[in-house]
Structure 1
């Protein structure tokens, strides 16, 4: 049999302001020694989508719902292993009478490849027996309805947010959960997944200030001179012949910046461009990373604002640059989806194929935002929070808006993939209304 090792890991847990909360010691299995197909099979653990988190937080702030953050104590130890796994004795706790004996693991231990999945299963099964329903649109979202009151549970591995319209029902469900798992009630969410929730008079600001300082510290740019823009508009991204001497550092910093876009949509376009050169970064690309970090330094107080919205209608902006990449001449799509006045979803991504016209590039961007809005509407409809009004899509290209409603344009779009034309079906059925917006009012322009 394959015998895996283990080690002790010591961590200092800090609060949002950086002060020490507690010191932790945890026994970790050396999962990198596990053999696929023998020690583990499935490893993927579903986690709640960040769009779902922003969506429900927006609704909670608008409707003044009760919010609670929960932490499961040693969550992974609640999972039972389906596979046979043997591990060496923990350092410092070896049996002197039997030094060659090994441990047969019954529970999932931190560090095992299948540990997150093994933990999700007992939690999922228990919630279903309690009366919760698992969302089909987002499998890590659970909802509970009773006498017109609703409670939602957002699960991100062992971090849980519970929110709902009834504080009494939330307390009752918390007592149910506490009978099966050792749960710590942290009260109103203040620091979740590295995101700080700052209360203001106008609502809540989601901030990653501590994470930004951590990235600057890792890059050695804590004392850098700040800039007011994340990227240069005069110099196009072109590959340089001189490779960067530390590609691992490049990948580490750009990967960290990707997580920062959870609350910073203004970084999406610059980070999207940087991610296209992960395999062979050059000195020029590292210079672009440093420019983004200098912008982050000057905008440490920025975050995503969620405020009470007078309406829950969905409207979205889509935009595209045409043949913006000088290397392969592909266009970049960008969109922003609003629930009422709150921004809940956005994207900046290079298109899969080369567009032959600006209308085609904009039409593909419109298809991307239509798919996202369809997903958001299906989630709200499943939770009983959608009231049937049509979603509005705003596009700054007249040709693309005509294309959504006029099949006569087919002669000029035979080369466009069929899957992009589903927007027309949505418009014909009344689910979407596509309107023209002038370029100066195009909010999605920042993503391209």
Structure 2
């Protein structure tokens, strides 16, 4: 959503990566560790180390880093969003700056380039502004995924699944269910920028408990589709409107095993797609109207969340 606003309003956009991020997080708790192998003190072999910083691998490390960053941003004049904990915003007269955090990756954007540069000067060096349109792509991730699955040289397909045949449990169990779990989990991460994969991946996730050879064949079909669509991504173009449009749909009793329906929705901010979902409903709908109402309830909840965030951002 913020990318969409940045592109539409020609905001300055910068990206940072914090090196040795966990070493920048100070521990508030008392934590000791054994002396590292090869660095033991021969005169005091029984002594332990008192940690001053959060080492990578400790459960406290991400929390310690985020708390330090959180406290610093508040001291610099930022406000912490009540709608999304990873979002911070700064307001000065008509100038507004937004900062998004994902572990050690930080994105800052705003309508005042001078203010953005000044605030970044207190954090780290940054790259230049993007003022045209954005393509959110995971091409490298898709290529790595095909390589890990042994499908790098496979022939591509134009469709994700056979739409004329219902997916039902087969009798032949797949010999390597761990591989299935790993690949489907990786495909879930790919749906961050690939709306077209949402429905197929949602279906694949429903067979985690009992994987068959037919289910693995469906995974390979999705991978072959990805092979032919490596250039696909999420385009965000300048939009003159900030109106919210949402679309929802459902299939009635589309899952042949338990007769549950699947809901789907897409939410647009102006002309840019900012949120989507494909999810099997929790209960059986007794009519197609009831299935549609459940899908409408899901998209209404999402739109309410988006409106709350937009209001908080002014």
**Which TM-score band (shorter chain)?**
over 0.9
CA displacement 1:295-345 (0-9 Å, x = unmatched): 000101111110011211000100000001111111000000001110000
| Higher RCO (CA-CA < 8 Å; seq separation 6+) | 2
Q: How far apart are 1:152 and its partner, in Å?
A: 0.3
Distance 1:188 1:227 in 2: 38
Aligned residue runs from structure 1 range 256-271, under 5 A: 256-271=186-201
Q: How far apart are 1:158 and its partner, in Å?
A: 1.1
Residue 122 of structure 1 aligns with which residue? 68
Q: Does 1:275 align with 2:205?
A: yes
In structure 2, the CA distance between the partners of 1:62 and 1:119, relative to structure 1 (3 Å rule), is same
Distance 1:355 1:312 in 2: 35
Residue 240 of structure 1 aligns with which residue? 170
Residue 223 of structure 1 aligns with which residue? 153
Residue 108 of structure 1 aligns with which residue? 54
In structure 2, the CA distance between the partners of 1:282 and 1:374, relative to structure 1 (3 Å rule), is same
Q: 2:221 aligns with which of 291, 304, 312?
A: 291
Residue 369 of structure 1 aligns with which residue? 299
Q: Does 1:206 align with 2:206?
A: no
Residue 192 of structure 1 aligns with which residue? none
**Any stretches of 5+ residues in structure 2 without a counterpart?**
none
Distance 1:362 1:292 in 2: 27
SS at match of 2:122: helix
Residue 248 of structure 2 aligns with which residue? 318
SS at match of 2:173: coil
Superposition TM-score, scaled by structure 1 size: 0.68
Q: How far apart are 1:188 and its partner, in Å?
A: 4.2
Q: How far apart are 1:80 and its partner, in Å?
A: 2.5
Residue 187 of structure 1 aligns with which residue? 127
Residue 399 of structure 1 aligns with which residue? none
Superposition TM-score, scaled by structure 2 size: 0.96
CA displacement 1:353-385 (0-9 Å, x = unmatched): 10000000001100100000000011001100x
Residue 33 of structure 2 aligns with which residue? 87
Aligned residue runs from structure 1 range 135-174, under 5 A: 135-174=81-120
Distance 1:272 1:188 in 2: 38
Residue-pair matches, total: 314
Q: Does 1:132 align with 2:74?
A: no
CA displacement 1:246-303 (0-9 Å, x = unmatched): 1111111111100100110000000000011112211111000000000000101111
SS at match of 1:250: helix
Q: 2:269 aligns with which of 308, 321, 339?
A: 339
Aligned residue runs from structure 1 range 56-75, under 5 A: 56-75=2-21
Q: What is the RMSD computed on CA atoms of the aligned residues?
A: 1.5
Distance 1:70 1:92 in 2: 35
Distance 1:291 1:186 in 2: 41
